[in-house]
Structure 1
Amino acid sequence: MGVPDGLLERYVTVWNEPDASARRDAVARLWTPDGLHSPGPGDFRDSMPWTPG
């Protein structure tokens, strides 16, 4: 699965934003209501509500 256009650039830009309020708003725009965060490769499969086919 590839990275959607602009996602990586927006992600990096968010964490380089010095203003906390602007950063919080930008983080909220990056996520979807059902989004998952994976802190590491092994942790992702354990936290998934379904098993990939």
Structure 2
Amino acid sequence: MALSRHAALSKLCRSPSAISRRVKALEERLGRILIVRGQPCTPPAWAGRFAPI
């Protein structure tokens, strides 16, 4: 079951900007893009190795 971005944010009780900052900080720490930003947001190509898209 796919959750919308807003539903996921609601479950986390965080604002979209707060989650965005946390994800960006994690990406910088890991040195990898975790979310390809756009409409809609998608996982990066390398993520397909872990979970088929």
State the TM-score, normalized to the length of structure 2.
0.27
State the TM-score, normalized to the length of structure 1.
0.27
